[in-house]
Amino acid sequence: MTRKPAVAGVFYPSGKNMLLDTMKDLFLGPLGPGSLPSVSEKPLEKPAGIISPHAGYIYSGQVAAWAFHKVAKLGIPKTVILIGPNHTGYGSSVSVFPAGEWETPLGSVEIDEEATRIIAENSSTVQVDMSAHILEHSLEVQIPFLQFLYGDSFKIVPITLKDQSPRVAKDLSTAISRYLSLNFSTLIIASTDLNHYEDHQTTLKKDALVIEAIEENDVEKLYRNLYEYDITMCGYGAVATLMLLELGEVRILKHATSGDVSGDVLEVVGYMSAIYA
């Protein structure tokens, strides 16, 4: 099956040339890293991970660009495992897209069926399911960034989570670890936005609590802070899964809010990018 873009023309441009121009602007923009990525020509030699936001590019794209700018230097991955929240409510609680390809204005990316099979076979929660992915945007918006860096030289494993409990994060990280023991050239992307629709200062304070837990690699603290301080981070299960993989030291690359772009500081969404390597 070819999964057609669900949010092209909404979250990012639907035309190839306009999308390529937009990608360049995100890297070069005032909140971006300030230069175009320098992509290493060598294969990625060991697993790495990034945290990347998933709002419309106008709001979160420059923050996301930091993670892709940094990871580009590590090498070209054979496989990219994308993990994000299920905003639509469709499909199974933990869903991996089984086969075929995903299409964007920059071309098509093939599903890594072997990786999908290994992860599903080693998990008690993952189900093979297309329906959870058809309208979901949190993984789709990562793919043009990957294509901008690597062309069509990689395959993907899209995983979307309705159930983001600690149990699922532990189970999924165990299944992914099994795959990583067999295939080192893998990039894992945890897709999340941070606090939603509160004023700028409140969001800065709540986001700082999330970032603190991530920097300490303390998954229990992440879940505890979300509950105790009512933080509306949407992809916490994806981030917890990445944290449990223990891929290396985490570096927070950029944090901003939608208010930094729009000027509206009354109701903002927080965004953060980070790398594990």
Q: Which domains does the chain have, with CATH numbers?
A: 2-276 (3.40.830.10)
Q: Which of 193, 265, 190 is nearest to 231 (CA)?
A: 193
pLDDT for 114: 97
- Quote the CA–CA distance of 8 and 35 in Å, as a whole number: 25
pLDDT for 152: 95
Average pLDDT value for residue range 67-94? 98
Average pLDDT value for residue range 6-27? 98
- Quote the CA–CA distance of 191 and 60 in Å, as a whole number: 12
* Residue 50 CB-density burial (10 A; 0-12 exposed, 13-18 middle, 19+ buried): buried
Backbone phi, then psi, for 236, in 5-degree steps? -65, -35
pLDDT for 216: 97
pLDDT for 55: 97
Alpha-carbon distances of 194 from 26, 95, 232, rounded to whole Å: 19, 22, 7
Indicate the pLDDT class of residue 195, thresholds 50, 70 and 90.
very high
Amino acid at 256: A
User: pLDDT of 180-191, one tens digit each?
Assistant: 999 999 999 999
pTM: 0.98
Total residue count of the chain as it appears in this document = 277
pLDDT for 271: 98
User: pLDDT of 196-206, one tens digit each?
Assistant: 999 999 999 99
Average pLDDT value for residue range 257-266? 96
Indicate the pLDDT class of residue 268, thresholds 50, 70 and 90.
very high
Average pLDDT value for residue range 8-18? 98
pLDDT for 58: 98
Q: Judge whether 225 and 213 are in contact, CB under 8 Å.
A: yes
Q: Judge whether 100 and 206 are in contact, CB under 8 Å.
A: no
pLDDT for 78: 98
Indicate the pLDDT class of residue 275, thresholds 50, 70 and 90.
very high
User: pLDDT of 101-146, one tens digit each?
Assistant: 999 999 999 999 999 999 999 999 999 999 999 999 999 999 999 9
Average pLDDT value for residue range 10-15? 98
User: Integer distance in angstroms from the first to the last C-alpha of the chain?
Assistant: 33
- Quote the CA–CA distance of 180 and 79 in Å, as a whole number: 10
